[in-house]
Chains A and B, each alone.
Chain A
C-alpha cells in the first residue's frame, strides 16, 4: 500500500478520463431575464445580473468523477486523506456511477492529483450551456429520461446513475451537468458583482434529490466546503 502510495500516479482512469474541449469565448453568465413573477418563479435572484465573462480555452471531464476513479485515487494517495468519520464516505457508489459524499476539499485534492483542478464557476456554466441561454444543457425539456432529479412527486432514481447513458449532452458534449450529483466548482460563493464574504463554495447543476429549478444551467447554491452529501460530487477541468 505504502509503496504504491509513493509511486507517481499510475495510468489510471483519472488520466484516461474522457474529456471535452471548450474553446475560448465570451460567456453570458447568469440568467438573462431580471423580471420575477409573483408566483412560480423557476429562476432565482442570485442568477442576476447577467454579465459577460471572458473564458480561456479549457478541457473538462465529460462525466462526473466516478466511484472507480475515486477508488484509484484513494489507493494512490493512501489512507491518510482526511476523509472524516462519515460511514457513507466513498462507500455507497457503484463504480461506474459518480462518486458522492465528497467535500470540496476532497474534490480539490482529487483534481490536483489527476493533473487538473476544479472548474471555475464560469467555466462550469459555459461547459453546461454554451453561448446561448438554454435552461438545461440539452435545451428546454426536462424529464427523467434526461436527468436524475426530484420531480416533486417522485425521484427519478434512488441514487446517482452511471453517466453518459442519457440523452443529456451539453453543447460541448459533457453529460450529467443537470441532476445526478450537484458539482463543486472552485469558487467561493458571492452574489454577482460582490466579493466573497465567507468560506462557502459554489455548487452547480443540482443532484438527484434536487428539484427542477436547481438543475438549470444558471442555478447556483452554496455549501460549507467540509459538507458531504449523497447528492454532491464533482468533475475536473484541465
Chain B
C-alpha cells in the first residue's frame, strides 16, 4: 500500500509536486515550468535552483588559517613623506565564505569623517557579505591636520612624494591584500575597492593604478576631476574593469557632476559600469544597493 502511494504518477498532464511526489520527480512539472517559470511556484523554484549554473570562481590565493568574524589588524607602511607609519584596518569574514572555495574581497574606504570602526554600520556591507560570501576590509586614510583633523586619503598628487603610482595609500591597500592572501583563499579575479567621498576618489585611483590587484571599483559620492586624476587615467593603458558608481543629485559636498565625470572617464576608457544617479539624494552612502553593487562587480 505504501509503496503504491509512493509511486510517482505516470505523466498525466498534471504537475503533482510536492503533494504526490517529491520535488523534481514529476516530468509534468518539467514541462510546465519550462513553458512558464511561474506556473507552479514550488516545483519551478526547485528546478530553477537545481539547474542554476555554478558560480564562477577565479584562481585562489592559496591562503589558509584565517579566522571568521571580525578582527582588526595593523600594517606599517610609508606615509606621504616616506616615513613609516602604523595604519589600521578591520576585516569581516562571513560564515558564508567557504574556506575551501576562493572568495571575493572588497576594500571599503570611508570619507573625511568616518573612521574604519564605524564603516560596517555606515555602509551595511557586512550583511551584503553574508549574502555574497565575500570578505570585507574596512580601511581609513591617515589621521592628519588637513581641514581640521580628519582621515585623509592621498587623492591629490601634491600631497605625497613621487608620481601617482607611488601613492602611499596604494602601498597600504596592497600590503593588507598580501596579508589576507596568505590567510584566506581569496579569488584573485574578484578583488575590488569601494569608497565613499574621498575614499571613493581613492578607489578610482587604486583601480586604475593597480589593475593587477583590483578588478574594479565602486565609488559613492566620489570624484575624479577636482583632483585632476581623470587626465592621468586617460593616459594609462589600464585594461577595462567593472565599476559601480552612485551619486546623489543633491550632494552639496561633492556635486553630482563629479559622478558624471567618473562615468565619462569610464566611457572613454571602455569600462563596464553601472551608474545610479539618484534624484534628491545627498552626500550619503546608500547601503540598500550593497548586494547589487557586489553582484555587478563580481559577476
Contact = CB atoms under 8 A, between A and B. Distances in A.
Interface string A96-123: 0000010111101111110001100000
Interface of B: 2-3, 5-8, 18-25, 40-43, 45-46, 48-50, 52, 94-96, 98, 118, 120-121, 124, 126-127, 130-132, 248, 250, 252-253, 278-284, 286-292, 295
B291 A223 contact: yes
Contact of B288 (A44, A77, A209): A44
B130 A230 contact: yes
Nearest to A37: B282
A9 interface: yes
A76 B19 CA distance: 9
Which one of B21, B22, B132 has the highest number of Cβ atoms from chain A below 10 Å of its Cβ?
B22
> Which one of A200, A226, A229 has the greatest number of beta carbons of chain B within 10 Å?
A229
Given A111-B42, A211-B121, A223-B131, A103 B49 contact: yes
B46 A86 contact: no
Contact of B23 (A8, A9, A109): A109
A34 B280 contact: yes
28 contacts: A2-B6, A3-B6, A6-B5, A6-B20, A7-B5, A7-B6, A9-B18, A36-B250, A45-B248, A45-B279, A46-B289, A80-B25, A81-B22, A81-B24, A86-B98, A87-B98, A88-B95, A105-B48, A106-B49, A109-B42, A109-B46, A214-B287, A223-B291, A224-B131, A226-B49, A227-B291, A229-B94, A232-B131
A220 interface: yes
Contacts of A82: 24, 46, 49-50
A224 B49 contact: no
A154 to B, nearest CB: 11
Given A80-B23, A214-B127, A228 B96 contact: yes
Contact of B41 (A41, A81, A108, A229): A108
Given A86-B96, A150-B126, A214-B287, A226 B121 contact: no
A86 B120 CA distance: 25
Contact of B292 (A150, A211, A222, A228): A222
Nearest to A83: B49
Contact of A38 (B7, B252, B278): B252
Nearest to B101: A85
Of the candidates A76, A221, A226, the one having the most CB atoms from chain B within 10 angstroms of its own CB is A221
Contacts of A206: 127
B282 A224 contact: no
Interface string A139-164: 00000000000101000000000000
Contacts of A220: 288
A152 B120 CA distance: 8
Contacts of B120: 150
A232 B95 CA distance: 13
B290 to A, nearest CB: 7
Nearest to A115: B19
A221 B288 contact: yes
Given A38-B282, A77-B23, A227 B46 contact: no
B131 A36 contact: no
Nearest to B20: A6
A113 B8 CA distance: 17
A206 B295 CA distance: 19
A78 B291 contact: no
B290 A221 contact: yes
Contacts of B49: 82, 84, 103, 105-106, 225-226
Nearest to B6: A6
Nearest to B281: A45
A207 interface: yes
Contacts of A233: none
A6 B21 CA distance: 5
Nearest to B42: A112
A210 interface: yes
Which 5 pairs show the lowest CB-CB distances between chains A and B? A112-B42, A6-B6, A105-B49, A108-B45, A82-B50
A219 interface: yes
B6 A5 contact: yes
Contact of B45 (A87, A112, A150): A112
Given A8-B19, A232-B131, A109 B45 contact: yes
A213 B287 contact: yes
A113 B42 contact: yes
A231 B290 CA distance: 15
B280 A80 contact: no
A217 B58 CA distance: 39
A92 B252 CA distance: 46
B23 A81 contact: yes
Contacts of B98: 85-87
